[in-house]
Structure 1
Amino acid sequence: MQLRFPGALLHHHQLLQRLVEREIAGRYRGSVLGWGWSLLTPLLMLAVYTFVFSQVFQARWVDLEEAGPLGFAINLFAGLIVFNLFSECVSQAPTLILNNANYVTKVIFPLDILGVVSVAAACFHAFTSLVILMIFQLLAQGAVPITLLWLPLVWIPLVGGCLALSWVLSALGVFLRDIGQVVGIVLNMMMFLSAVFYPLSALPERWQPILKINPLVVIIEQTRRVAVAGESPSAIYLLAGSAIALLFCELSHRAFQKARRGFADVL
């Protein structure tokens, strides 16, 4: 099957670039700290989660017990970066078309790039959090693993999955207004079922295969592997994950293009 969505998006690359810049700049326009909020927010989240889980509940990272709260915080933050990227994309998707209804009546406007803009903005904030993670590693451990360079490849399935879900959920959100409420509930559940606050190895063996059904668990584990443990990613994950993500993107893009024909009638 020939992939159509990359060519469709590249055709509007200049418009896409301007919309991404506007989305990032507009989020903090008028605020006192501006872009500083993208730094402060993950730091505050890291501090609270680390205190609650490592001090109140006395949680320890199974593979890094000697590292104490610092090791826990680094692993926790690496998982949070992945989950927050996913959550930001998915939570905005159901209202993506509804909030830009004025574009629906403009036949020449490519509605499919709205999902790309949302994912690109989320990736920017994830990159900001990643910079904080590296600074934290330098202060706590004195070095950043060179295997961190694998991260762009490790995140191909994540970004592809977020883009595909953005197209699917944004189209469904036009016809089913309740989809936003469902997505909110599912995200709250997934936060605790995606191995964000614990390693997969901490679970009993009978539960590990069940949690691996959740793609986020695999992505988070691979992210920690290259960003924290200093190990190379799984070759099977890179190949299979990327192929599945591309296929999912293609199918979702085609479904979105078919569904958009009915947007104007509903809106």
Structure 2
Amino acid sequence: MNSSIGARYRSLLVELTKREILGRYRGAAIGLLWSLISPFLMLMVYTLAFGYILRSKWPGTSGATTDFALILFVGLIVHGFFAECLTRAPLAVLSNPSYVKRVVFPLELLACSMTLTALFHLAMNVVVLVALKWFWHGELYWQMLLLPLVIAPLVILSVAVGWFLSALGVFVRDISQIVGVLAAAMLFLSSAIVPVETLPESYRWVFYANPLTLIIDQAREVVIWGRSPDWAALGLYAACVTVLAGLALAFFRKMRGGFADVL
């Protein structure tokens, strides 16, 4: 019985995710190809701004603009994944009032579907990243295969954030305005575009406190440098966000009883 319920929920989750992905590109002339073109265009803009105009360099590299572009791109796609989850979370339940009225519908899947949709776009970005790495450097590292393990703790955190903010967003509508500013702050206060080791020590703790910094740094380790990640740090990170996810799910289920009254 439990296995059949689990299978039903899995198929429902897949359908929700598929609908979100296809719905986003419905009506576009080239459809899903935008999921590959968009990150490439984003990379061109940031590389032009930071690599050519500001002449930014990354410590430990040859100083080539292509090196800087790849390092920057890793940070941007990790941030982009989390930012998509963060900014969409407050509206996950609000934008689906019909699901709230269905007693049997597992509303917890909305945050999971939202995260899987963002994960699809992350995967498309990684395809572009790997293609550019091979085209510019002519080499790929086997450590790239470890990237899913590096990203996994951030996926758990994204689901936790989705449960918490989607429940809170039903009752506090201003949350959706705040998270946009928070997402931008998390970009500039992480190692996405700034090498933390070049900053004054008194400010570094702010960047290291950002949950994106560790994931970005470890993603660069496996993709850019071809080194194994810091398993101890990732393990501790995973343990903390798993506990957080449990608390967020409990909060979501406690608040769920009041959704119908508000909506």
- Scaled by the length of structure 2, the TM-score of the pair is 0.95
Q: Which runs of 5+ in 1 are unaligned?
A: 1-6
The corresponding residue for 1:163 is 159
Match of residue 176 from structure 1: 172
- 1:219-254 deviations in Å (ceiling 9; x for gaps): 111111111111101021221111112111111111
Secondary structure at 2:228 match in 1: coil
Please tell me whether the aligned partners of residues 90 and 162 of structure 1 are also in contact (alpha carbons under 8 angstroms): yes
In structure 2, list runs of 5 or more residues that go unmatched.
none
- The one-letter amino acid of 1:83's match is H
Q: Provide the C-alpha distance between the structure 2 equivalents of 1:71 and 1:209, rounded to a whole number of angstroms.
A: 26
- Give % identity: 41
Q: 2:141 maps to which residue?
A: 145
Give 3-state SS (helix, strand or coil) of 1:59's partner: coil
Given the superposition, is the C-alpha separation of residues 220 and 169 from structure 1 closer, same or farther in structure 2, using an over 3 Å criterion? same
Which of 49, 53, 62 is equivalent to 1:52? 49
The answer to which of 74-83 and 198-207 deviates more is 198-207
Q: Is the 8 A contact 1:168 1:255 kept in 2?
A: yes
Residues 191-230 of structure 1 aligned to structure 2 (within 5 Å): 191-230=187-226
Secondary structure, in 3 states, of the residue corresponding to 1:12? helix
Q: How far apart are 1:21 and its partner, in Å?
A: 1.2
Letter in 2 for 1:262: G
| Separation in structure 1 between the aligned mates of residue 50 and residue 219 of structure 2, nearest angstrom | 21
In 2, the alpha carbon distance for the partners of 1:136 and 1:234 equals 25
CA–CA separation in structure 2 for the residues paired with 1:134 and 1:44: 16
Using the TM superposition, name which of 233-242 and 116-125 deviates more.
Answer: 233-242
- 1:16-56 superposed Cα distances (whole Å, 9 cap, x missing partner): 11111111111111110101111111111100100110111
Q: Which amino acid aligns with 2:118?
A: A
Of 42-51 and 200-209, the range deviating more from structure 2: 200-209
Alignment partners' CA distance in 2, 1:49 and 1:120? 26
For 1:60 and 1:10, the matched residues in 2 are separated by 49
Contact 2:51 2:68 in 1 (8 A): yes
The answer (yes or no) to whether the contact 1:199–1:221 under 8 Å persists in 2 is no
Q: Determine if contact 1:16/1:117 at 8 Å carries over to the other structure.
A: yes
Deviations along 1:171-226, one digit per CA (max 9) or x if unpaired, are 01000000011111111111111121122222223322331111111111111111
> Take 2:63 and 2:133, find their aligned partners in 1: how far apart are those partners?
12
Distance 1:9 1:117, change over 3 A: farther
Q: Using the TM superposition, name which of 8-17 and 37-46 deviates more.
A: 8-17
- The residue identity in structure 2 corresponding to 1:43 is F
For 1:22, the aligned partner's letter is R
Cα distance in 1 for residues equivalent to 2:229 and 2:198 = 20
Residue 19, structure 1, aligned to residue 16, structure 2: yes
CA distance in 1, matches of 2:23, 2:178: 27
For the pair 1:251 / 2:236, whether they are aligned, the reply is no
Cα root mean square deviation, aligned: 1.5
User: 1:101 Cα shift?
Assistant: 0.7
Deviates more, 1:124-133 or 1:203-212: 203-212
* Distance in 1 between residues matched to 2:55 and 2:5, nearest whole Å: 51
Give the deviation of 1:100 after TM superposition: 0.2
Q: Secondary structure at the match of 1:206?
A: helix
Could you tell me which residue of structure 2 aligns to residue 233 of structure 1? 229
Which residue identity lines up with residue 247 of structure 1 in the other structure? Answer: V
Match 2:261 to one of 249, 262, 265: 265
Partner of 1:28: 25
Query: Which whole-Å CA distance do the structure 1 matches of 2:195 and 2:152 have between them?
Result: 22
Q: Does 1:112 align with 2:90?
A: no
* Aligned-partner Cα distance in 1 for 2:5–2:88: 22
Question: What is aligned with 1:87?
Answer: 83
Structure 1 distance, partners of 2:140, 2:195, is 20
**Distance in 2 (alpha carbons) for counterparts of 1:94 and 1:8:** 27
